[in-house]
Amino acid sequence: MRGKLIKYKGSFLISILISLFLNSCDQKTNTDIASYYIAPYEMKIGFGSCLKQNKAMPIFEAIKSDSFDLFLMIGDNVYGDSESEDLRELRSAYKKQKDNFKNMNLNFSFEAIWDDHDYGLNDGGKNYLFKEQAKELFLDFWDIPLDDVRRSRKGLYYDLLKNADEKQVHIIFLDTRTFRDELMPTDDRGAPGKERYIPNLDRSLTMLGENQWNWLRKKLAEPSDYKIIVTSIQFLPIGHGWESWNNMPYERDRLINMIDNSRLNNMIVISGDRHRGGLYQLKTSTGKTISEITSSSLNAAFPNSEEAGPLRIGGTFVDENYGVLYFHSDDNALTLALKNIKGEIVRSLLVQD
């Protein structure tokens, strides 16, 4: 069993009290508290998004020091938007990133899914003409075996199982690009809550496509101690007009209902894309809890004013950051943490049955 005490000498109760305090706060609460206690854990998974290949990447010094069991790259792993069939910009981006990874000696285990900038088109969906070519570049960059299911079916969705001591962790990666219908442009560009897009109430629109939806339903029904859903774009947040599941609210409701019918009382969602990090939580109609942690960006931070966050716990964090999932041995407990460029925890939430 492993554990790490961060800036505070205390007990497991401290972590629970901090979590309860954060859960009781509204969106204006400052969660930049100075002391965090992380209870003993069996496994530690890191994740991040938005990594520009032509910028310095000092955050990986902290990531390497964290000695993760696994690190998830959850989208915009390169920036290679391409408008021509040869995907010249995307190929060049991957070549540069491969050199970066080699020079930084990133020799730990990765798993990855894409977002728009490694898909090849900003905010792109199913109508991107070169998505199949972009998919092959993705698979080759991440050394996906030739017999992997992603090589033989449409899209990049997949899942994997990990063990945390005697507990089974099921990680489900969703592809929110290959099958997604077009978004509805805003009628008031730049306005708070309507920055780029507004919700489209057309029930025929899809985020995942029927094959992926059917696959996801089966995966959520499979028994496990923890389930982690990876979606490159945010799922719970409804306070902004950038890309999110709320662009298609009926699809968002569909996944909430699917989670509501699953076996677990707690479902964890991790997301990226937004160039800000944050914690979000929703209670379903039957009392189950969906907790989301957004981590973005690894090296592409820029000043952002705060946004509305009706489901958010505390404020967002706009500097460089990465996320951490700590899997504890007690009662299927899990800590969601957001760390800054120095590897210091700046947001934390304990989820426990």
Sign of the Cα torsion 18, 19, 24, 29 reads positive
Decide the pairing of beta strands 36-48 and 70-73: parallel
Q: Are 325 and 335 in contact (CB under 8 A)?
A: yes
What pLDDT is recorded for position 103? 97
What are 267's strand-pairing partners? 290
Distance (Å) of CA 181 to CA 128, 201, 264, 328:
11, 13, 30, 39
Degrees, nearest 5: CA angle 160-166-170 = 20
Task: Give the H/E segment covering residue 283.
Answer: strand 277-283
Here the tokens at position 319 are: 């500097």
> Three-state SS for 162?
strand
What pLDDT is recorded for position 200? 98
Tally of helices (H runs) and strands (E runs) in the chain: 7, 14
DSSP structure class, residue 197: B
89 by Cβ neighbours in 10 Å (0-12 / 13-18 / 19+) ranks as middle
> Three-state SS for 260?
helix
Q: Are 131 and 140 in contact (CB under 8 A)?
A: no
Closest among 263, 278, 287 to 28, alpha carbons compared: 278
Task: Tell me the domain boundaries of the chain.
Answer: 2-351
Residue with tokens 């979606």: 231
Residue with tokens 């978004």: 183
What pLDDT is recorded for position 34? 41
The upper half-sphere exposure of residue 185, i.e. CA atoms within 13 Å in the direction of its Cβ, equals: 3
50: left (phi over 0), alpha (psi -120 to 50) or beta: left
What pLDDT is recorded for position 27? 34
Give pLDDT < 70 ranges for the chain: 1-35
CA distance 29 to 199: 27
What pLDDT is recorded for position 35? 55
> Three-state SS for 42?
strand
Distance (Å) of CA 238 to CA 153, 193, 224, 235, 337:
32, 8, 29, 8, 21
Distance (Å) of CA 342 to CA 205, 330, 339:
42, 29, 8
For 2-351, CATH gives: 3.60.21.70
Predicted TM-score (pTM) above 0.75 = yes
Closest among 258, 309, 311 to 285, alpha carbons compared: 258
What pLDDT is recorded for position 21? 37
Task: Give the H/E segment covering residue 167.
Answer: strand 167-173
Long-range contacts of 87-95 (CB under 8 A, 24+ apart): 87/120, 87/130, 87/133, 87/134, 87/137, 90/118, 90/120, 90/134, 90/137, 91/137, 93/53, 93/118, 94/137, 94/141
- The end-to-end CA distance of the chain, in Å, is 20
Q: Are 126 and 82 in contact (CB under 8 A)?
A: no
